[in-house]
Chain A
């Protein structure tokens, strides 16, 4: 098995109601692949949080999931405003979400911390005005 299995999703920033679709799709795929419920849950929560972040902050983006026999890699890329202080953003409860999405129950400041908590490794590359790239890995 040389090539990884790749699932690609375009996360639509215009359509808030479809946020969370990609993670639901991935969950289904991983179930078909026979991963344990625990792995599936960690990947889908990490992906869900990332997806919501891209919609709320960056006007959408791209999500790729690579499946290897030994791990699952989630790559989220957007061309949004970027994160000014990554360390601060990683703090639980810190949020810059606008009021309109808070009204829906988002913006609790748990997105990035949950992504870190549910994955085995996570790197955040972000440049102001350029965008953000997050790579997360969940070991199988």
Chain B
């Protein structure tokens, strides 16, 4: 993947070279070499797991600053529904929307509103004959990337509808141009307020398929949160009102999207390691009765993203009370829902990304694999990570690929040391005995 732009980065100054991020990485993309971590770009899916486990703040999400939109004439905020769960004692979403206008946005287009459209479209899509079941949600970019890297056969199962934020950006731009015909495309800024770095990657890598996203900048939810709490004083009634309902807001947490499909043959899994296991099982054709699968890389769903502020489970609980008096959905207000419009569909179906094998030559790859197995047999299988590779098997592979040295294994080195000391002692003893004799 030449030129792939990742949204998880490493601050070498802060990285102590500990192993906290090494094993949680779901794609074994991290290695510790020369005293600090590095990320194997080919394998990383930008799930943000390492950001959440790093105790030293060395792993960072890459995103735009709010000031990045200063040069645009019209600034539109696209708040993810997880934003609403960040605030304590919030009883109406409208206060957040008003707050966004107060911190300098000219317009707001809720991602939850587009999410309700995607729910409508998903129901329509699932009525079509001949589609591949189970349908897998396309909303989480880390999951989509994981599927194209590791489960190429499941690409066909992925819902061929754009994620809500993309649809929100497109609709927001159309609306803005209608309202302000004097503005050109490049004058309008769609700013996504994102809970996670994976969405940054989605935008900076042209939606993973070379198509330019309608989102112009992606800012961190936590930056916006701190700007908002200064202006959200609840001292005046908000001048805007939400255009989404329960369904849209529910998308923020795991199970929300799936339950809106109105089909009880669904599964919702969250947490990248759980997602991996579910995909593994679907890949083995071991899910006979499922029709819809919602997968979120973060624990608890989008509320668990690395750029959020609140504890994901508390955020989810807040959303439950926030949506209590909301209408089920407001999508009926926005035009026909009898068919899926073309601009809500993916331009082309998701493609698998070829995995880089040990060697391009099959015989050489087999030879290398045999060598990996030979080396692995001598390793302790403790998977301690001290060598800087996540598992002993991975270490063996790294050695054969020329990316690690056998001497990096502390267990092997210790054994060698003991052996040498033992021999030394024996020699000395023999020498002593000889001297005495």
Which residues of A approach B to under 8 Å, CB–CB? 1, 3, 5, 7, 20, 23-24, 27, 29, 31-34, 37-38, 41, 44-45, 48, 67, 69, 105, 108, 114, 140
Instruction: Using A5-B370, A33-B358, A34-B362 as known contacts, say yes or no to A20 and B289 having CB atoms under 8 A apart.
Output: no
Q: With CB as the reference atom, state the residue of chain A lying closest to B277.
A: A24
Q: With CB as the reference atom, state the residue of chain A lying closest to B286.
A: A48
User: What's the minimum C-beta distance from A45 to chain B, rounded to whole angstroms?
Assistant: 6
Instruction: Tell me the chain B residues, 273-312 only, with Cβ under 8 Å from chain A.
Output: 280-281, 283-286, 288-289
Instruction: Using A41-B283, A44-B283 as known contacts, say yes or no to A1 and B288 having CB atoms under 8 A apart.
Output: no
Chain A residues near B150: list those with CB within 8 A: 31
Asked whether any CB of chain A lies closer than 8 Å to the CB of B229, the reply is: no
- Choose from B152, B352, B362 the contact partner of A69 (Cβ within 8 Å): B362
- 9 tightest A-B CB contacts, nearest first: A34-B357, A37-B152, A48-B284, A33-B365, A31-B355, A5-B366, A5-B370, A41-B153, A69-B362
Asked whether any CB of chain A lies closer than 8 Å to the CB of B369, the reply is: yes
Instruction: Using A20-B281, A23-B284, A45-B284 as known contacts, say yes or no to A69 and B363 having CB atoms under 8 A apart.
Output: yes
B357 x A32 contact (CB < 8 A): yes
Chain A residues near B166: list those with CB within 8 A: none
B153 x A37 contact (CB < 8 A): yes
Q: With CB as the reference atom, state the residue of chain A lying closest to B284.
A: A48
Rounded to whole angstroms, the CA-CA distance of A108 and B370 in the bound complex is 37
- Choose from A5, A23, A41 the contact partner of B369 (Cβ within 8 Å): A5
Chain A residues near B239: list those with CB within 8 A: none
Could you pull out 19 A-B pairs where Cβ atoms are within 8 angstroms?
A1-B367, A5-B370, A23-B284, A29-B369, A31-B150, A33-B358, A33-B362, A33-B365, A34-B357, A34-B358, A34-B359, A37-B152, A37-B153, A44-B284, A45-B284, A45-B285, A67-B366, A105-B288, A140-B362
Rounded to whole angstroms, the CA-CA distance of A23 and B289 in the bound complex is 22
B345-378 vs A, Cβ < 8 Å mask (1 yes, 0 no):
0000000100101111011011101100100000
Extra inter-chain contacts (8) besides given A3-B370, A5-B366, A31-B355, CB under 8 Å: A5-B373, A20-B284, A24-B280, A31-B357, A32-B365, A34-B360, A41-B283, A48-B286
Asked whether any CB of chain A lies closer than 8 Å to the CB of B120, the reply is: no
Rounded to whole angstroms, the CA-CA distance of A108 and B287 in the bound complex is 12
Please count how many residues in chain B sit with their CB below 8 Å of the partner chain's CB atoms: 26
Which residues of B approach A to under 8 Å, CB–CB? 150, 152-153, 280-281, 283-286, 288-289, 352, 355, 357-360, 362-363, 365-367, 369-370, 373, 397
Rounded to whole angstroms, the CA-CA distance of A90 and B7 in the bound complex is 50
B interface, over-half SS:
helix
User: What's the minimum C-beta distance from B198 to chain A, rounded to whole angstroms?
Assistant: 23
Q: With CB as the reference atom, state the residue of chain A lying closest to B155.
A: A37
User: What's the minimum C-beta distance from A63 to chain B, rounded to whole angstroms?
Assistant: 14
Rounded to whole angstroms, the CA-CA distance of A69 and B370 in the bound complex is 13
Chain A residues near B357: list those with CB within 8 A: 31-34
Rounded to whole angstroms, the CA-CA distance of A31 and B28 in the bound complex is 14
Q: With CB as the reference atom, state the residue of chain B lying closest to A140.
A: B362
Instruction: Using A5-B370, A37-B153 as known contacts, say yes or no to A32 and B289 having CB atoms under 8 A apart.
Output: no
Rounded to whole angstroms, the CA-CA distance of A29 and B369 in the bound complex is 8
Q: With CB as the reference atom, state the residue of chain A lying closest to B362.
A: A69
A34 x B365 contact (CB < 8 A): yes
- Choose from A27, A32, A105 the contact partner of B358 (Cβ within 8 Å): A32
Rounded to whole angstroms, the CA-CA distance of A44 and B281 in the bound complex is 11
Rounded to whole angstroms, the CA-CA distance of A67 and B288 in the bound complex is 30
Q: With CB as the reference atom, state the residue of chain B lying closest to A3.
A: B370
Chain B residues near A3: list those with CB within 8 A: 370
User: What's the minimum C-beta distance from B8 to chain A, rounded to whole angstroms?
Assistant: 23
Q: With CB as the reference atom, state the residue of chain A lying closest to B151.
A: A37
Chain B residues near A27: list those with CB within 8 A: 280, 283
Q: With CB as the reference atom, state the residue of chain A lying closest to B359.
A: A34
A69 x B281 contact (CB < 8 A): no
- Choose from B280, B286, B352, B369 the contact partner of A33 (Cβ within 8 Å): B369
Q: With CB as the reference atom, state the residue of chain A lying closest to B153.
A: A41
Q: With CB as the reference atom, state the residue of chain B lying closest to A23.
A: B284
Rounded to whole angstroms, the CA-CA distance of A38 and B152 in the bound complex is 9
B352 x A37 contact (CB < 8 A): yes
Rounded to whole angstroms, the CA-CA distance of A140 and B362 in the bound complex is 11
Rounded to whole angstroms, the CA-CA distance of A3 and B360 in the bound complex is 20
Rounded to whole angstroms, the CA-CA distance of A29 and B396 in the bound complex is 13
Chain A residues near B288: list those with CB within 8 A: 105, 108
User: What's the minimum C-beta distance from B113 to chain A, rounded to whole angstroms?
Assistant: 37
A105 x B289 contact (CB < 8 A): yes
B366 x A33 contact (CB < 8 A): yes
Q: Which of B281, B284, B357, B362 has the most CB of A within 10 A?
A: B284
